Structure 1
Amino acid sequence: RPSKLPKPTTLKKTDLLSVTDAKNWFLRPNNLKKRWENLTAVGSLFTIGDTDFEVAEKFLASADLWLQSSPPLARLHYIAAQPLPTYAHVHRASLLDRERPELVYTELAKELLKNCPPCSAGIHNLFFYGGRIRLSLLLGNPPDLFSSLSLEEKAHLDGCLKPSVDTWFINNSDASNHTLFNALAMLSDTTTDFTATSAFKTTDSQMTKAGFIPTASHQVKDSQWVLRGCYIKNTDVKIPQKSANRSLFWHINEQRTKSPSDRHITILGAGIAGCTTASALAQRGYSVTVIDRHEQAGGEGSGNQQAVVYPKISHRNDPLPRINFSAMLHASHFYQPLWRAGIGSQCGVLVLAHTQNIECDQRALDQHLEQQTDWARLIEGEDLYQASGIKLATGCAIFFPKLGWLPPAEVCAHLLQHPNIQMQKAEITQLQRCEKRRAWRLLDAGGNSAATAETLVIANAYGCSQFSQTNFLPIQKVRGQITHLPATSSSQALRTVICGRGYLIPAHKDLHSCGATYNKGLEDLTLRERDHQQNITHLATSDIQLGALFADVDTAYLGGRAQFRCTTQDYLPIVGAVPDVEQMRIDFDDLRRDARSQITATGRYLPNLFVHCGLGSRGLCYAPLTAELLACEIANELPPLELELRLAMHPARFLIRNLKKRRL
């Protein structure tokens, strides 16, 4: 879970900017209306960076102008930092302030208020108007968070492909913050311009030292000036010393100097990983072909009747719980349209404290989440009954009211219903690189070419182990069996998903889904009675009252489903560019001798080949965020997560670890 902010302070109303001021001070000086009207390319993206979100006035003004001026297929990415821990209280209060009607009349302001992320340090992403507007809220220390979006100094100096901000909105109070301006410079290019408020006609030297040069200024009120200017690249810009270890540059793809000319992407695999990736790319204007060996999407690991949107989070500040927390927030927003359409149910998820150690962890987590009760909270006693609808013996549990369950295959089919996406049936067993055509050939078992692709995403779970390009990935194929339990008069009262040693989902079509087993090394998908019995036993050992609901069930006549999960050693997904294994072993061989070796090389990666797999049993929770991360990388857009978390899921992480441990 991202580290918690201090308790919020209060801003005076006189300190708050109006939407009218935002338009006059920030939008008009940069001639944004005309620039947006002139956007022509399909999937055009315009990125605004804002050093102080305050109460969303600049964002609301920008979004309003964007919807009026930009082409229908263009997208706005608004990245805003909140340097003070005022977000949770000031943001909500100001949007509802009757004395500030310009902030409440818009549909967007209401949606923003409804979907406020929790007051938790990190990067939070919200999408509006079908993806036309993306808001990335950076809550915490702005210099650190802006720095975490960049590829570090090596990419800045060497000119490899990197995303950048088009226009900066800079707050007066940031004028002397040299660390912030260095971070902003890392996200800027020669086409970047800025508007800044200042107490003086001229700007602070820290801004100009970083490369932000004012070209015009005008006074807007007493002791308040608006400066306009452009960014000029400054090779003296430095980033934090954490990059001193040059081996950190393994994640930078130095060979990728431009985006693929072809706006067509091929995705191998029509499970939840492939379908969320296809949807994210299609929204960016790409034409996408999804290839799968089944006629319908979600034919294997994503084919259960019901599946839970549930992360495993804790109070610890490690990458795994932080990624899980971000994935939970992202997924809860992503699936809202489906839940509103009656697909699955946003009924909440209740995680039982079925052991004393788990109860201690949950109480520690509850203290850590004290400002985020809308998302997760500890409940006890009568509240447990009110949330679940049934009597439970467990003393306490963590309740996630904004999560629920979904039918994965139906979700996959829904995601592919986009005019830019088509599906093709083929069983691919081999990938070949054709340098003459600069494309990948996808071959079937007979050696015949089923398709060619300039850009290819491998998203076929454990199927990636059959390809020479990705068989280095330490994934595991693990069988899991779920059980369909006939609903009883007592179990029909269940209102929410319950998780413990296993899980139980509210009845759908008179059947509960219960599971799931973990059968490592078992290849047979035939349903086994012993696995049904194990699933029911796990319910009983999670809570004796849960077990009592199905005590009289005859396991010999139960239905269910068995399939394989694709899991990883570190329990994290695999998402990103596929490394050139042999070249990486050569370039980083010194790590075998000394894990702290100073290596100047950047990473080597196979051209336009990406992988998205290893989601384990939490595919529904991970996939929306990891798909967005991958789509941003392919489209050269600023990412939805901090660099540390991106590296924790990077495909090349296993190579670097194994070299340091002398396993290669």
Structure 2
Amino acid sequence: MSQELPSGDNTQQVADIQWNEERQPICQRFDDVYFSTDDGLEETRHNFIRPSRLAERFPALNKDEVFRVGETGFGTGLSFLACWQVWQQSNSPGRLEFYSVEKYPLDRTQLKKALVQWPELAGMVEALWESYPSVPAAGWHRLEFNGVVLQLFIGDVLDGLLELCRTKHLRFLEQNRQFDAWFLDGFAPAKNPDMWREDVLECITQLSRRQATVATFTAVSAVRKSLQARGFDMKKASGFGLKREMMAGDFTGPPNEERSWPSSVFSKLNEAPWDLQINPTETQRQVCIIGGGIAASCNARALAEAGYSVTILERHKTLAQEGSGNPQGVLYAKLSHRPETLSQFNLHCLLYAQRFYRALLNNTGANNERSFEAELCGVVQLAQSEKQYAQQGQLLDYLAQYGPTEDFVQRLPAEELSRVSGIDIDKPGLYFPDAGWLNPASACEALCQHPNIEIRFEQEVENVMRKGELWQCLDASGQILNTSHLVVIANANDAKRFQQSAELPLKPVRGQVSYIEASAGSEKLQTVVCGRGYIAPERNGQHCLGASFNLHERTLDLRLEEQQSNFQHLQDDCPSLFSALNTEDEPALRGRVALRCTSPDYLPLVGPVHDAAAMQERFALLSHNAKATIPTPGCYHEGLYISVAYGSRGLCYAPLAAAELLSQIQQAPSPMGAMLRKALNPARFTIRDMIRRKSPNPAVKA
């Protein structure tokens, strides 16, 4: 069941910039400046930073308390940089999250050119430029800077604001109040009226905490009156430079405290809130994670960095011994030009994962932490047919609407792929220069090197049980292995052993990789090559290639027929490389077998674990009317979460999914947006079956 994400059309989405004589950017689309020609940084401080009282509010935060700023109109990113600078100067014990929306993004080159004129921001400009999406595609992009998070939405402002809402049901709009300050920084209302529409201001109101501040360069009467009518105490002040006035104010609450502001936009979206979890878990700081693979490790790191105390229970003697245990895993995802849920999830996960692992590589080297073995050497994706090559062209056309694509992906003929890969390739295809391979075990070890993370090996959990306000993890004999406020199930297919998650539609898929000794010819391979199978560059004198995809077997023994299939795929993909490897001299069987964990729609399950029976009872009306606006939240086990079903894309999916799970535990806006959050919710299969009138019990006929 695919869904299209907001702003997923193929219209041109890039910034239309002209540079004036002072090398400052002018937006031709709206015939307006991005910032004052006098001093854009001082203008930003005057219009947004000082009226929002950030220098006083940041130091007053408690440890790990989150301060959220929302902005309409990211532009050159100058407001974010000015806010970040004040944050650095404040030495705040809290955490800063900055959310901004932009329909027409600058590309990386334009961004850097616009910001070079302020030497005092040089370090932050360089960091922003390095992390800025190589393809600023539609949807949310998460950028991280040592405790400061920038969430950048590319698309229509209303779409972006709605994607920040935890729910759109009228009864629960209070759950959306997450923001402490707003910068209304779109182009002037007369030139860009869409940024100042009533429904946009309505969303801002619903997302605002009590006493949230709002600041804007405009003093237009219609904007002031609309904000005042919604509960903002707006005051005019002197404008910057030649501008006469600007406005700022505080949110004191809607005029009628008995209800939220009457909402036409939310009335139209008043859907059953089965995905809404209302549990008081935000202040509970002890977490137990069951599992020791890449999903568990990414979740542990995200939680630890947010101040949680994390205990990992791993049944083996070391991390990454099952699905994450191959010596070389490929950072790779299959992308499509179709703006559907799975393809958009793949795109945003890959963009984020490339930044995530590069930062991890840099940090482990700088801090002398345990070595993380990886080579972001590039990935070649071969076109296996003319149809596939045409589809790759459609993908490039789709991405090109957001600006230059060559930093992220290039479509190359066979001779160019041969040059970048170092071997003879006889097919055209795609080249992802920032992707590559990782050793998953060393990645897990590096991720878990954090003072807030404790790992307990040889701890096999057979049962999880709620006792009062705490969760107990027990072994087969009933002995308590751990007690904590929160539990994250991250043990792939073994999640079905627990009563709370036993009915989830997880499916094991057997995968066998093969090892083959490197040769003088194969050592020339410089990139990962993916086609019918994949092969990575030489590591420790051998190549890792694969992998089989066996839906019917669950054994872990090496199979000769699957090794032969891996070799055949390599021969089909790269005949010259295959001939250089002397496969006939290989021992009968060399490789490794593991069981992937997949779901019916190929998306992972990330979020709270639902009570299926209670959910079926509460939302039974959906089986008769799929659009019923049932005024109750979903039924979830308080403090119990799950992160499984990554298939063969664990390295790609796990980092962003971990950020998503953290946001759900904190009951915060989603780093990937409300639509993708809902698409990953583990309860989706229960709800779909009800809507389709399927029995939840296979033994009962519908």
Q: Where on the TM-score scale, by shorter chain, does this alignment land: which range?
A: over 0.9
CA contact (8 A) 2:232 2:250 kept: yes
Q: How does 1:423-462 map to 2 (within 5 A)?
A: 423-425=455-457, 426-434=459-467, 437-462=468-493
CA drift of 1:140 comes to 1.4
1:251 aligns with 2:258: no
1:398 aligns with 2:430: yes
Provide the residue aligned with 2:368 in structure 1. none
CA contact (8 A) 1:288 1:420 kept: yes
1:112 aligns with 2:128: yes
Please, which of 125, 135, 139 is the counterpart of residue 122 of structure 1? Answer: 139
Please, which of 568, 582, 595 is the counterpart of residue 537 of structure 1? Answer: 568
Q: How has the CA–CA distance of structure 1 residues 194 and 536 changed in structure 2, closer, same or farther, with 3 Å as cutoff?
A: same
CA contact (8 A) 1:480 1:518 kept: yes
Q: Distance in 2 between matches of 1:497 and 1:168?
A: 44
Provide the residue aligned with 1:327 in structure 2. 349
Q: Distance in 2 between matches of 1:87 and 1:356?
A: 31
Q: Distance in 1 between matches of 2:290 and 2:211?
A: 36
Provide the residue aligned with 2:17 in structure 1. 10
CA drift of 1:69 comes to 0.6
CA contact (8 A) 1:8 1:88 kept: no
CA contact (8 A) 2:281 2:639 kept: no
1:388 aligns with 2:406: no
Q: Distance in 1 between matches of 2:264 and 2:570?
A: 51
Helix, strand or coil at the partner of 1:251: coil
Q: How does 1:101-180 map to 2 (within 5 A)?
A: 101-102=118-119, 105-117=121-133, 118-129=135-146, 132-154=147-169, 157-158=171-172, 161-162=175-176, 164-171=178-185, 173=188, 176-180=196-200
Q: How does 1:205-604 map to 2 (within 5 A)?
A: 205-215=225-235, 217-234=237-254, 235-238=260-263, 240=265, 243-244=268-269, 246-247=271-272, 249-253=273-277, 255-256=278-279, 258-340=280-362, 341=365, 343-370=373-400, 371-394=404-427, 396-425=428-457, 426-434=459-467, 437-550=468-581, 552-604=583-635
Q: Distance in 2 between matches of 1:526 and 1:275?
A: 27
Helix, strand or coil at the partner of 1:626: helix
Measured against aligned partners, the alpha-carbon deviations of 1:97-133 in whole angstroms (never above 9, x if no partner) come to xxx2347x5211012112321232211111112xx11
CA drift of 1:31 comes to 1.9
Aligned letter for 1:111? Answer: A
Q: How has the CA–CA distance of structure 1 residues 551 and 486 changed in structure 2, closer, same or farther, with 3 Å as cutoff?
A: closer
Measured against aligned partners, the alpha-carbon deviations of 1:404-459 in whole angstroms (never above 9, x if no partner) come to 1100011001111000010123111111121xx31112111011211122111111
Provide the residue aligned with 2:90 in structure 1. 69
Q: How has the CA–CA distance of structure 1 residues 243 and 587 changed in structure 2, closer, same or farther, with 3 Å as cutoff?
A: farther
Aligned letter for 1:274? Answer: A
Please, which of 50, 56, 61 is the counterpart of residue 34 of structure 1? Answer: 56
CA contact (8 A) 1:176 1:204 kept: no
Aligned letter for 1:125? Answer: R
Q: Distance in 2 between matches of 1:582 and 1:233?
A: 38
Helix, strand or coil at the partner of 2:141: strand
CA drift of 1:267 comes to 0.9
Q: RMSD value over aligned CA atoms? A: 2.2
Q: How has the CA–CA distance of structure 1 residues 524 and 79 changed in structure 2, closer, same or farther, with 3 Å as cutoff?
A: same
Q: Distance in 2 between matches of 1:87 and 1:157?
A: 40
Measured against aligned partners, the alpha-carbon deviations of 1:61-115 in whole angstroms (never above 9, x if no partner) come to 11111111133x522111112233445564233134xxx2347x52110121123
CA drift of 1:565 comes to 0.7
Q: Distance in 2 between matches of 1:243 and 1:267?
A: 39
Q: Distance in 1 between matches of 2:483 and 2:440?
A: 28
Helix, strand or coil at the partner of 1:663: coil
Structure 1 unaligned regions, length at least 5: none
CA contact (8 A) 2:168 2:271 kept: no
CA drift of 1:605 comes to 0.9
Measured against aligned partners, the alpha-carbon deviations of 1:138-170 in whole angstroms (never above 9, x if no partner) come to 11111111111102333x643665461111111
Q: Distance in 2 between matches of 1:90 and 1:505?
A: 35
Superposition TM-score, scaled by structure 1 size: 0.93
CA drift of 1:376 comes to 1.0
Superposition TM-score, scaled by structure 2 size: 0.88
Q: Distance in 1 between matches of 2:291 and 2:588?
A: 33
CA drift of 1:338 comes to 3.9
Aligned letter for 2:122? Answer: T
Q: How has the CA–CA distance of structure 1 residues 475 and 555 changed in structure 2, closer, same or farther, with 3 Å as cutoff?
A: farther
Q: How has the CA–CA distance of structure 1 residues 624 and 243 changed in structure 2, closer, same or farther, with 3 Å as cutoff?
A: farther
CA drift of 1:244 comes to 4.1
Q: How has the CA–CA distance of structure 1 residues 7 and 201 changed in structure 2, closer, same or farther, with 3 Å as cutoff?
A: closer
CA drift of 1:19 comes to 1.7
Measured against aligned partners, the alpha-carbon deviations of 1:626-649 in whole angstroms (never above 9, x if no partner) come to 000001111233211121111111
Q: How has the CA–CA distance of structure 1 residues 80 and 11 changed in structure 2, closer, same or farther, with 3 Å as cutoff?
A: farther
Measured against aligned partners, the alpha-carbon deviations of 1:369-409 in whole angstroms (never above 9, x if no partner) come to 23322101211132111211101111x11111111110001
Q: How has the CA–CA distance of structure 1 residues 270 and 353 changed in structure 2, closer, same or farther, with 3 Å as cutoff?
A: same
Aligned letter for 1:206? Answer: S
Q: Distance in 2 between matches of 1:597 and 1:158?
A: 16
Q: How does 1:162-201 map to 2 (within 5 A)?
A: 162=176, 164-171=178-185, 173=188, 176-200=196-220
Q: How has the CA–CA distance of structure 1 residues 211 and 546 changed in structure 2, closer, same or farther, with 3 Å as cutoff?
A: farther
Aligned letter for 1:45? Answer: V
CA contact (8 A) 1:214 1:227 kept: yes
CA drift of 1:206 comes to 2.6
Once the two structures are overlaid, the 10-residue window that deviates more, 440-449 or 219-228, is 219-228
Measured against aligned partners, the alpha-carbon deviations of 1:509-548 in whole angstroms (never above 9, x if no partner) come to 1111101111223232122222211111111223433432
CA contact (8 A) 2:379 2:432 kept: yes
Please, which of 45, 53, 56 is the counterpart of residue 23 of structure 1? Answer: 45
Measured against aligned partners, the alpha-carbon deviations of 1:542-594 in whole angstroms (never above 9, x if no partner) come to 34334323354334344211111111111101100111111110011122234
Measured against aligned partners, the alpha-carbon deviations of 1:214-252 in whole angstroms (never above 9, x if no partner) come to 1452333333423221123332242636854533x1111
Measured against aligned partners, the alpha-carbon deviations of 1:481-520 in whole angstroms (never above 9, x if no partner) come to 1111111111101110000111000001111110111122
CA contact (8 A) 1:171 1:196 kept: yes
Aligned letter for 2:436? Answer: G
Q: Distance in 1 between matches of 2:550 and 2:223?
A: 64
Q: Distance in 1 between matches of 2:655 and 2:608?
A: 18
Helix, strand or coil at the partner of 1:616: coil
Give the count of matched residue pairs: 649
Greater than 6 Å deviation, 4+ residue runs = none
CA contact (8 A) 1:482 1:562 kept: yes
Among all aligned residue pairs of Structure 1 and Structure 2, give the percentage whose two residues are the same amino acid: 31
Measured against aligned partners, the alpha-carbon deviations of 1:142-200 in whole angstroms (never above 9, x if no partner) come to 1111111102333x643665461111111263574212111212211213111111145
CA contact (8 A) 2:516 2:586 kept: no
Provide the residue aligned with 1:84 in structure 2. 104
Helix, strand or coil at the partner of 2:374: coil
Q: Distance in 2 between matches of 1:213 and 1:203?
A: 12
Q: Distance in 1 between matches of 2:175 and 2:500?
A: 23
CA drift of 1:134 comes to 0.7
CA contact (8 A) 2:289 2:487 kept: yes
CA contact (8 A) 2:289 2:296 kept: yes
Q: Distance in 2 between matches of 1:243 and 1:313?
A: 32
